[in-house]
Amino acid sequence: MSTFAQRCGLHDAAREAALVRAERLIAGASLELVRFAWCDLHGVTRGKTLVASAARRAMEEGVGLVSTLMLKDASDRTAYKVFEPDGTASLPGFGFANNLLLMADPASFRQLPWAGQTGWVQGQPWFQDGTPVELDTRRVLQRALRRLADAGLAMRCGLEVEFHIYRIEDTREQLDPQLAGWPGLPPAVRMIHPGYNLLNDAWFDMAEEPLRIVQRTAQALGMPLLSLEIELGPSQVEAVFEATDALAAADNMVLFRSAVKQALRCAGYHASFMCRPPFPNIMSSGWHLHQSLVDARSGRNLFSRDAPADGSTPADAGYTLSRLGEQYLAGLLAHARGMTVFCTPSVNGFGRFRPNALAPQSVLWGRDNRGAMLRVIGECGDGATRIENRIGEPAANPYLYLASQIHAGLDGIAHALEAPPATDAPYGDASDRLPTSLGEALDALAGDAALAEGFGQSFIGYFTRIKRSDLQRWDSAQDKEDFERREYFSRF
């Protein structure tokens, strides 16, 4: 009798070899538990933990998950009326909190460095009839990458991730059943460094213990960590990763956030990927996404050029970028307002777009200009030539962030768009501003036909409904600071 993996069309010789390898690793390390994890719409990992003896069968037959996990807003409230007859009419296959099956990829198996005798494996949801759940955000990126592959292209991405680490002082209120709420309170914390002294070596020394945990956790999980840095804000740090293929970069971001939060928590620290933690005098955290397109076969960087375009000046995209690179850049600019909500999906994140704050305000690009939305990096003949998008917040879902870049950039290529001159005044009086709120960003997405076509109208409708639920709760919250403390600082 066939397994569920076989009925899904997943099983082949490579998968069988990966299953055997995972079994050997489980046995060789005497693991007791294996976590089956999945990334939800909000970029948060969820899943189930199985005893090790059940792992092989679970990787063949799937792990049951309630379908409402895919229908929840950022507070974990279900945004669809699943027990009403037409409550999920727009979502075929969903209804009445039915079951999905989480199918793990045995090739993703790792041993968790902070949890004793515990393994981890990444999965994606399937319907019980063996069809994939297309609303899964990892599949959204996989579909976007197939668009690139059909054109003979691939994407490489490097990550610069700013976040905050605090030492936990007290968890009594957080864990007091009399104070439980939905969402709950965060722990009481204090800073690990005082900030306002960028890249200060002494501040690194103050923060070395938690940063060592970050380093060892990332490296033990096989991530291409490049550097750890002291950022400008109090208790703010940054992790930088070498460029990888796009799907690996997104997978690494999901696992990095989850792993760092858990490993630090075990050591008495609270890591927050919330853009603006709820304290006075903090600095916003961004997630700067470096991206380039490469030839799918040779790996050659298709954004770089050997010499400036004829007649170009440093203000022209063609001075550094290939024609393909300029068209991709122009596509990102043309769809900047529509894609903002995928890059900055929280109410809190829009507080980052302030003048002279190393965060963008307007739809502009610049040559090595950290005030611009898009920063072109590299010189002629540089194989690392790339575009850095600076509108992301570190809490964004990586699969949606990257997919939005692909759909926007491909539209620029398809229509042979030309980029305007580079800005030398990123905080000047530009006419095209980025959205300043979650509601404005959702409205911009609703008016972007190319992104609707790229993501699919069904996904746009699904995503928008859930984000509107977040916005409605924010609008009705009497205490906005308490909302952000519980909604974001406690959990993201």
213 & 275 share domain: yes
Edge-to-edge strands, sheet with 33-39: 45-51, 33-39, 118-126, 99-111, 63-66
337 & 205 share domain: yes
385 & 474 share domain: yes
CATH number at residue 78: 3.10.20.70
Q: pLDDT tier at 349 (50, 70, 90 boundaries)?
A: very high
Helix (H) or strand (E) holding 50: strand 45-51
- Residue 428: per-residue pLDDT: 84
Q: Is the pLDDT of residue 354 over 90?
A: no
| Nearest alpha-carbon partner for 157 in 290, 17, 301 | 290
Residue 91 covered by a domain: no
pLDDT tens, position by position, 88-144:
999 999 999 999 999 999 999 999 999 999 999 999 999 999 999 999 999 999 999
31 & 126 share domain: yes
Q: Is the pLDDT of residue 476 over 90?
A: yes
Distances (CA, A) of 410 to 302, 360, 377, 477: 13, 23, 20, 39
pLDDT tens, position by position, 239-271:
999 999 999 999 999 999 999 999 999 999 999
- Residue 312: per-residue pLDDT: 92
104 & 219 share domain: no
3-state helix, strand, coil split of the chain in percent (to 5) is: 40, 25, 40
Ranges assigned E (strand) in 115-250:
118-126, 153-170, 188-191, 225-230, 236-245
185 & 118 share domain: no
Residue 17 covered by a domain: yes
Residue 57 CA to residue 200 CA, distance in Å, equals 51
Q: Where are the alpha helices (DSSP H) in 267-392?
A: 323-334, 336-343
Residue 110 covered by a domain: yes
Residue 293 CA to residue 72 CA, distance in Å, equals 34
Once rounded to an integer, what is the mean pLDDT over residues 358-375? 93
pLDDT tens, position by position, 195-254:
999 999 999 999 999 999 999 999 999 999 999 999 999 999 999 999 999 999 999 999
The domain containing residue 427 runs over which residues? 145-489
- Residue 355: per-residue pLDDT: 84
396 & 468 share domain: yes
> Which range among 211-225, 345-359, 391-405 shows the weakest confidence by mean pLDDT?
345-359
Residue 93 covered by a domain: no
- Residue 186: per-residue pLDDT: 95
109 & 187 share domain: no
Residue 296 CA to residue 317 CA, distance in Å, equals 23
Which of 133, 159, 190 is the endpoint of a domain?
A: 133
38 & 63 share domain: yes
221 & 354 share domain: yes
The average confidence (pLDDT) of the chain is 96
105 & 173 share domain: no
pLDDT tens, position by position, 457-475:
999 999 999 999 999 999 9
443 & 367 share domain: yes
Residue 167 covered by a domain: yes
Residue 451 covered by a domain: yes
| Nearest alpha-carbon partner for 297 in 403, 405, 148 | 148
- Residue 463: per-residue pLDDT: 98
pLDDT tens, position by position, 160-184:
999 999 999 999 999 999 999 999 9
Question: By percentage, how much of the chain surpasses pLDDT 70?
Answer: 100
Residue 395 covered by a domain: yes
pLDDT tens, position by position, 34-46:
999 999 999 999 9
Q: Which two tokens stand for residue 235?
A: 């208790």
CATH number at residue 390: 3.30.590.10
Q: pLDDT tier at 327 (50, 70, 90 boundaries)?
A: very high
The domain total for the chain is 2
pLDDT tens, position by position, 419-445:
999 998 889 877 799 999 999 999 999
- Residue 188: per-residue pLDDT: 96
Residue 460 CA to residue 444 CA, distance in Å, equals 12
Residue 6 CB burial class (10 angstroms; 0-12, 13-18, ≥19): middle
Question: By percentage, how much of the chain surpasses pLDDT 90?
Answer: 95
Residue 468 covered by a domain: yes
The answer to whether 332 and 340 have CB atoms below 8 angstroms apart is: no
- Residue 83: per-residue pLDDT: 95
